[in-house]
Every structure is written in structure tokens, then in C-alpha cells.
Chains A and B, each alone.
Chain A
Amino acid sequence: MLFRIHPDSGTPIYVQLMEQVMHAIETGALRPGEQLPAIRALAEDTVTNPNTVAKAYRELEHEGVIELRQGLGAYVRAGVSSAREAEAMKQAHRAMGAAVAVMRKLRLSEASMRRVFEAELTRDQEVREAVSLRR
């Protein structure tokens, strides 16, 4: 699989790597049981700090997405994703696609679109937290 790193994005590089691995699993580009690139090889390919790649792998392991086998490398965990999740992702992409189309019509810049999305996520989180506090 191909990784694309945007160093000057505000998102930490290890988070970008994690997202791309998860995306690859969700779309089926990486399948359960398959091996991920070795840390040093991936670091050199993407011209990224090996510690950063190692951190992404550790976090992915912590989240149960991959498995680090001592001296053997990193593997996608069995049963980590399913066709159902892939379908959910497809639906989410369609929904977002529609939302982007609407925002384009409103002549929003890409930066504004991102802000709207971030703000909505935050608001949703706040609402959820408020609800759970009330319980």
C-alpha cells in the first residue's frame, strides 16, 4: 500500500499513518493476517522518522488493529474489519460527498468545510458528554 504523508498538516504524522492503515483495512487494501511494511523500510519510503512509524504501530496495536510479533513485524489482526464496516464506510463516504456538494454550492472554501466538520464533531461530542453527565 502507498502512504502519503503531509508533514505540514497540523495532524501529527503518526496519526496520519494510523488513519491510512485503518483506511487501507477498511477498503480491503490491507487484509487481516497481512503484514505491514517493516518500520525502518516504511520510515525510509515515506521519509519519516522511524520513531514516528514505531509510535503509529504501537498505537495501532493498542487499538487492537494490528499485532506486533517480536522480531517478525506487524500484522493486521484477524477479524479487525468486516464487509459490514466496509459497507458502513461506503455509506459514510456517500453522505459526506453529498455534504461537500452542498457546501460547494454555498461557495465555502475547503478550509471552511473542514472547520464546519470539526466544529460539528466537537458539538456532537459535547452533546453526548452532556447527555451522559445528566444520566
Chain B
Amino acid sequence: MHSEPAVISAEGLRKRLGSIDAVAGLDLAVPQGSICGFLGRNGAGKTTTIKMLMGMTRPDGGEGRIFGEPIDHEVASVRIRQKTGFVAEVKEFYPFFTVQQMIDFTRAFYPQWRNDWERRCLREYELPLERKAGKLSKGMGSKLALLLAFSRGAELLILDEPTDGLDPIAIEAFLQHVVALAGEGQTIFFSSHQLQEVEQVCDRVCLIDRGKAVLETDLDEAKTRFRKVSITFPDAVPERLFEGTGVGRLKVRGRSASLLVNGDVEAVAARARQAGATEVDFAPVSLKEIFLETVGGEQ
């Protein structure tokens, strides 16, 4: 689908934290110009992955590249960071700087600074310019971090839970900004727990569970491939018939069963009909349903 070269790529990326494999062989490809949503439960390995991409922690194994440069090479990592706008999970600033001073200070580092984006973010995020950065609420902190990342004229944005603490109006502004930046050709990779916002603006999704990518695809393709299949039998549901066919668990209610299927829906339907199913229905599913079935399993 995407023929564009990957801006971010990872193969078998690993990171051990204590006794836990925080990232356990992650494969990832984020095509140029895409908006990729990085999804997973708490502790799935999202932040650790992002820290490795940004050169803040070294992988224990595997390979990661951004703009073709190795992420674990110090000099290359500086070159990566020059072209990458980053919003960390914990939004921290120099506490005694005012918002205005923080912006002026950051601007000085980036010759590509975008005054138009600075103005747009100031206007739409309604940031209090005179307030000390250390006294910002969580949401205001997120907004300031976004302003600084969006205005620096980057080629790639890596955002770790950028909408954390934002109110619905600010989230809408954020989504509009992301779409506009993608329209300018920037590549955007962001982690989120808000499936709806991901569903709205992302063309790629990477779903990570226990340190591994369990789904990494174009969102359109996922929506085309995944179907909820509902089956009704004249008698009891022959549950064993469906072992290993679906994603997640077979849900049985009386003589009916439903199952999320990735891909060969017809094969499942044929098998059900052969076993005497009286009714087989397919329904499209939302990203939320895909998420719940894919990572919601036995924990």
C-alpha cells in the first residue's frame, strides 16, 4: 500500500528493564508522510520504544533506524534529533521560565523555526504567556510541549501521549494540527490511549502488546480485513470447530457465537455452514473492537 520509504524502521528491537522484557523483539515501519498511531496497554512498551528511538536509552538487541540512521549511534542520533520534534511522556520545562521565555529560548536553537505554527498554536491552545512553566497544569504543559514540537520545522514528530490532560477542544485542535502538518509532508508517530483520535487521523497503526507488535498495518486495511462473524446453530455451538480460527476468544451465548476474524472470513463461514450453522453474519468493526480482542486477552 505505502510505497514511500520508511522514516522509522525497527527490526527485533529489544530492551530489558530489570527482569522484564519491556520491548521484546519489536518490528516497526512508519512510512514517509504517514500519521502512525502507536497503541497498547499501560506497560506494553510504548514509552520504552519511543525512548530508544530518541536515543535516550540503548536497545539491548535488534536494530532501529530513523531517516536511515542507526538510533543507537551517538553521532547519528544527534542528526536524527535535529530533524525530529519530540514530546515526551512527562512534559518538563525549565520551571522558572515563563511560557514566553520557554518559547523564545527554544526558538533560538532551531533555524527552521516556524513562526506561523508558533502563532497558530498560541492562538488555538490559548497558552498563558506570562505564567511560569513550572506552574502549568498537565493540559497546559502538553499544549506548550506541542507548540515547541510543531514550531521547530521538523521532518518527523514523535509524540508520547501528546493529548494527555487535554480538554476536548484542545484535542480537536491537536488533531487538526496533526492533519495539517501531515499535509505539509511531515511524518507523525504518536502514542495514545484515545482510540477514536487515532481512528480519525491515522493512516497507520501499530498495536503493541507485551513488547511486541501484534498488529502493524494500514488502518484501512485493518478495517477491511477484520470482521465480526456471528453464527447461529440449531443446537449447541460446536466450540472446538473454531479453535485457532479467530483473533481473541469465541463468545458463546446460547446457540449463537461471535468471533473476530482477521482475513479469511469466508473460510470461517464455510466451516460454520458445514457444521450446520443456520445463520452466518458479518459485520465491520471499529478500531476499539480490534484493540480489545487483540490485546485484551488473558493477562
The 0/1 profile, CB within 8 Å of B marked 1, for residues 1-40 of chain A is: 0000101111111110000000000000000000000011
B205 CB to nearest chain A CB (Å): 12
* CA distance in complex: A35, B110 (Å): 39
Chain A residues within 8 Å of B35, by CB: 49, 51
The 0/1 profile, CB within 8 Å of A marked 1, for residues 270-299 of chain B is: 000000000001111111100000000000
Q: Are A10 and B288 in contact (CB under 8 A)?
A: no
Name A50's closest neighbour in chain B (CB-CB). Answer: B183
The segment from B58-66, B140-148, B156-164, B195-203 found at the interface with A is B195-203
Name A49's closest neighbour in chain B (CB-CB). Answer: B203
A122 beta carbon closer than 8 Å to chain B: yes
Chain B residues within 8 Å of A114, by CB: 283
Chain B residues within 8 Å of A12, by CB: 219-220, 223-224
Residues of A within 8 A of B (CB): 5, 7-15, 39-40, 43-44, 47-52, 55, 114-115, 118-119, 122
The segment from B67-75, B172-180, B233-241 found at the interface with A is B172-180
Q: Are A40 and B183 in contact (CB under 8 A)?
A: yes
Chain A residues within 8 Å of B286, by CB: 8-10
Interface residues of B in 200-225 (CB under 8 A from A): 200-203, 219-220, 223-224
Name A43's closest neighbour in chain B (CB-CB). Answer: B179
Chain A residues within 8 Å of B224, by CB: 12
10 closest residue pairs by CB, A with B: A10-B284, A7-B200, A40-B183, A12-B220, A7-B199, A50-B183, A8-B286, A49-B203, A12-B223, A51-B203
The prevalent SS among residues of B at the interface is helix
Chain A residues within 8 Å of B172, by CB: 47
Chain B residues within 8 Å of A119, by CB: 281
Chain A residues within 8 Å of B288, by CB: 8
Task: Knowing A8-B287, A12-B220, A13-B220 are in contact, say whether A48-B183 is a contact too (CB < 8 A).
Answer: no
* CA distance in complex: A40, B186 (Å): 13
Task: Knowing A8-B199, A10-B286 are in contact, say whether A48-B281 is a contact too (CB < 8 A).
Answer: no
A55 CB to nearest chain B CB (Å): 7
* CA distance in complex: A2, B33 (Å): 26
A-B contact pairs, 27 of them (CB 8 A): A7-B196, A7-B199, A8-B195, A8-B286, A8-B288, A9-B286, A10-B284, A10-B285, A11-B223, A11-B284, A12-B220, A14-B220, A15-B220, A40-B180, A40-B183, A44-B176, A44-B180, A47-B172, A47-B176, A48-B179, A49-B203, A51-B33, A51-B34, A51-B35, A115-B281, A115-B283, A118-B281
Residue total for B at the interface (Cβ-Cβ under 8 A): 29
Chain A residues within 8 Å of B219, by CB: 12
* CA distance in complex: A47, B137 (Å): 26
* CA distance in complex: A13, B293 (Å): 22
Interface residues of B in 116-156 (CB under 8 A from A): none
B82 CB to nearest chain A CB (Å): 25
Chain B residues within 8 Å of A122, by CB: 282
Chain A residues within 8 Å of B287, by CB: 8
Kindly list 14 other residue pairs between chains A and B, CB separation below 8 angstroms, not including A9-B286, A51-B35, A115-B281.
A7-B200, A8-B195, A8-B196, A8-B199, A10-B283, A10-B284, A11-B223, A39-B183, A49-B182, A49-B202, A50-B183, A51-B33, A51-B203, A115-B283
Chain B residues within 8 Å of A13, by CB: 200, 220
A86 CB to nearest chain B CB (Å): 28
A112 CB to nearest chain B CB (Å): 10
